[in-house]
Amino acid sequence: MPERAPERNAGGGEVLPEGAKHDPILVADGLRRSFSGIRAVDVDHLEIARGAVTAIIGPNGAGKTTLFNLLSGFERPDAGIWSLDGKRLNGLAAHRISRLGMVRTFQLTRVLARLTVLENMAVAAPGQSGERLERALLRRLWRDQEQKVKIRARTLLQRFGLDHMADQPADTLSGGQRKLLEMARALMTQPGLIMFDEPTAGVNPALTQSLLGHVRKLQAEGLTIVFIEHDMDVVMGISDWVVVMAQGRILAEGPPADIVAHAGVIEAYLGRAHGLEKGGAAESEASRD
């Protein structure tokens, strides 16, 4: 199996002009997407530092989820290029981008409801020969690999505290457990970069802490993490770098401490729009998922 996890880069967040980073894993240029005349995403330049935890924040409708959809191949941009580890991603289908080592989760969890938790995990393993039609019929052609996949799946389930649910259908999981399963399942693909779309949305405080613990461990193992988040405590607590979006554009970026001090951010997000968000505008973004 290919080893995709990149080497750990300790810095990951030193500020350079024009948002450039030392050793970026993901670079996007001129990324634009409009919905019936409204610019949902209009990003001139974005770099994601390898091995860092990058938070994307912004009010509802800022284009964060659309940006995720574009980067992960779930939506086509009107213009723009982007690359992962120097490999051009534009025009690639979502599953190809995932195979290159960039996996994303969804704002509303998407567990495979009528598959067992273990099956949810196993299906995500890359390069399974038994998934090829011409080999599927003969069990001996894939039995050994299947065993390895299941062992790895169980190990990950254990790590996320879901091993006791392994043989249960995934729709018996609670909301929080589903978030954990989605995170664990994303790891099964052996990614180099994971994009979490609101990992802590609708999750109780204790589980939020546990999720964040997992994210920190992933970073320690060398993964690059990008996540969309609304909870500023979470953003401050965990991220190395914060990108602020508003109306499709990148308003500001920098280390978390600088961002809180940034007046524009406070106006666009923490102050004025913050109350609006609690009013129930969440659907507008969920519908674009």
Partner 1 sequence: MEFDVILGNAGRAGLGPQAAIFALLVIGLNLHFGYTGLLNFGQVAFMMVAAYGTAITVATWGGSLWLGIPFGLGLCVVLALVLGLPTLRLRKEYFAITTLAAAEILRLLVRSSPATDITGGPFGLQAIAGSFYALNPIVEGRYGIGTFSYTANQLWVMIVGWVLVALAATLVFLLIRSPWGRVIRAIREDEDAAASLGKNVVGYKLQALAIGGVIGGLAGVVNALQQSGVGSESFGSQVTFMAYVVLIMGGVATTAGPIVAAVLFWFLREGVDSFLRQLSEEAWLPDLLADFLYDAGGAVSIALAGIALILLLKSRPGGLFGKRHEGAADA
Under the rule (CB under 8 A), what is the footprint of partner 1? Answer: 72, 74, 93-96, 98-99, 103-106, 110-115, 119-120, 122-124, 126, 128, 130-133, 136-137, 139, 142, 146, 169, 171, 185-186, 188-189
Return the number of the residue (68 or 241) whose C-beta is nearest partner 1: 68
Choose among 92, 81, 78, 55: nearest CA to 212: 55
Element (H, E) at 47: strand 38-49
Q: How far apart are CA 81 and CA 192, in angstroms?
A: 20
Sheet holding 79-84, edge to edge: 38-49, 24-35, 79-84, 87-88
Return the number of the residue (82 or 106) whose C-beta is nearest partner 1: 106
205-220 vs 175-188: helix axis angle to the nearest 10?
10
Contact 245, 57 (CB under 8 A): yes
Return the number of the residue (16 or 133) whose C-beta is nearest partner 1: 133
Q: Is 198 left (phi over 0), alpha (psi -120 to 50) or beta?
A: left
What minimum distance in Å lies between the beta carbon of 264 and partner 1? 33
Return the number of the residue (117 or 246) whose C-beta is nearest partner 1: 117
Return the number of the residue (22 or 143) whose C-beta is nearest partner 1: 143
What minimum distance in Å lies between the beta carbon of 253 and partner 1? 26
What minimum distance in Å lies between the beta carbon of 160 and partner 1? 16
What minimum distance in Å lies between the beta carbon of 189 and partner 1? 6
- Rounded alpha-carbon distances, angstroms, from residue 167 to 112, 143, 192: 13, 19, 28
Return the number of the residue (119 or 231) whose C-beta is nearest partner 1: 119
Phi/psi for 106 (5° steps) reads -115, 155
- Assigned token pair, 197: 């779309």
What minimum distance in Å lies between the beta carbon of 43 and partner 1? 21
Return the number of the residue (225 or 250) whose C-beta is nearest partner 1: 225
What minimum distance in Å lies between the beta carbon of 266 and partner 1? 34
What minimum distance in Å lies between the beta carbon of 97 and partner 1? 9
- Rounded alpha-carbon distances, angstroms, from residue 238 to 28, 90, 212, 232: 23, 30, 7, 10
DSSP designation for 139: G
Return the number of the residue (60 or 98) whose C-beta is nearest partner 1: 98
With tokens 């091995």, the residue in question is 51
What minimum distance in Å lies between the beta carbon of 166 and partner 1? 15
Element (H, E) at 42: strand 38-49
